Structures are given as C-alpha cells and as structure tokens.
C-alpha cells in the first residue's frame, strides 16, 4: 500500500491542497456524525437572527479538509496528527468551495516531527481558517 512522505523526503516549502464545495447535506451529516446540532448550523429560523444572517457550516467541518490533505497528500498515508491550532477568520457558507492548503515550515528529523502551516481559503481567495499543525510522518 502507498505510504506518505517520510521526514527525510519532506522539504521545507513543499505544499499540497484539497478543495471541496460544502453543501447543506455535508453540514447535516456532520451534525449527525458529531452530535453538534448547534442551531447556528441546522436551524434557519434561529440562524437568520445571528450576525451571519443565516446558517453557516461547522468550523471543524471546514477544518476537516486540512486533515484530509495531511492524511492523503502531505505527508500523506500513515501520517499521525500530533497537534493543530486553528483560528476561524470568516464563516463557511453553504455552497462555498473551500481549499485547504498545507505547507512544510519546519522539520525535526531526530524526533520525526514536521510542522505545517495550514490555511483554508474560499472561492474568493479569502483566508477563512488559519493555523499550524505538527505531524509525525510515516516511517519507511
Ligand atoms: C461550536 C460550533 O458549533 C460553532 C461553529 O463552528 S461556528 C463556525 C466557525 N466560526 C466561524 O465561522 C467564525 C468565523 N470568524 C469570523 O467571522 C470573524 O472572525 C468574527 C466575526 C468572529 C470576528 O470578526 P470581527 O468581530 O469582525 O473582528 P474584527 O475584524 O473586528 O477583529 C478584531 C480583532 O480580533 C481579531 N480576530 C478576529 N477574528 C479572529 C479570529 N477568528 N481569530 C483570532 N483573532 C481574530 C482581529 O485580528 C482583530 O485583532 P486586532 O489585534 O484588534 O487587529
């Protein structure tokens, strides 16, 4: 089975991305999967009176696209999450196309740890989620 990049194979500056259009079905499924039925996501009557004037996607649903890139592309299959910080800068609206991009910013070969900058943008190139992740890349 294909494995991702090892610590030796990873290079500072390397990037990978994954894009997905977030639909109402994604939000309903995410609420059901996680139990987060916050009315800001699932109740239009409630959400229309909030600052966003309607339902928005769960922040962690958008952030989940970061995990998708890390686990399938860079480092890729076999990578293990150690930590992730996130700042939610703007909402994900239904129908938005979110692109998660990760970039290698530092690596520690001795400890087998890689630090990645993680950013999600929308279709207008607006940064909506920014943060940093630490991963343990797969071994040979
Ligand atoms: C628990 C779940 O069920 C709920 C969810 O998942 S909700 C979905 C996830 N969250 C979002 O979608 C929120 C997205 N964020 C925003 O829309 C905006 O950040 C905000 C509306 C929450 C805040 O914006 P605003 O009030 O306009 O803030 P300002 O632009 O006036 O900035 C003031 C200072 O705060 C800093 N700042 C703003 N947002 C963030 C952030 N998300 N993280 C860190 N810092 C933030 C901003 O830089 C300003 O700092 P300064 O030093 O004063 O310049």
| Residues 17-46: tens digit of each pLDDT | 999 999 999 999 999 999 999 999 999 999
Query: From CA 98, how far away is CA 101, in angstroms rounded?
Result: 10
In this prediction, the answer to ipTM > 0.85 reads: yes
Nearest CA to ligand 1 atom 34: 89
Residue 93 has which token pair? 């609206």
Domain ranges of the chain: 15-136
Query: From CA 61, how far away is CA 31, in angstroms rounded?
Result: 9
* Superfamily per CATH, domain 15-136: Hotdog Thioesterase (3.10.129.10)
Residue 131 has which token pair? 């943060």
Ligand 1 close to Cβ of residue 126 (< 6 A): no
Would you say residue 16 has pLDDT above 90? yes
| Residues 44-85: tens digit of each pLDDT | 999 999 999 999 999 999 999 999 999 999 999 999 999 999
C-alpha 2 to ligand 1 mean position (Å): 39
Say what the pLDDT of residue 1 is. Answer: 77
Q: Are 10 and 114 in contact (CB under 8 A)?
A: yes
């Amino acid at each position: 089975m294909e494995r991702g990049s090892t610590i030796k194979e990873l290079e500072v500056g390397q990037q990978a991305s994954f894009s997905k259009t977030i639909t109402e079905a994604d939000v309903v499924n995410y609420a059901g999967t996680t139990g987060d039925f916050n009315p800001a996501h699932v109740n239009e009557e409630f959400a229309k009176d909030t600052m966003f004037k309607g339902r928005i996607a769960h922040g962690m649903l958008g952030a989940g696209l970061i995990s998708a890139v890390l686990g399938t592309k860079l480092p890729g299959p076999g990578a293990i999450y150690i930590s992730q910080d996130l700042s939610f800068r703007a909402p994900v609206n239904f129908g938005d196309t979110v692109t998660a991009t990760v970039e290698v910013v530092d690596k520690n070969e001795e400890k087998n740890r890689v630090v990645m900058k993680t950013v999600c943008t929308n279709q207008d190139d607006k940064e909506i989620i920014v943060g940093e992740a630490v991963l343990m890349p797969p071994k040979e």
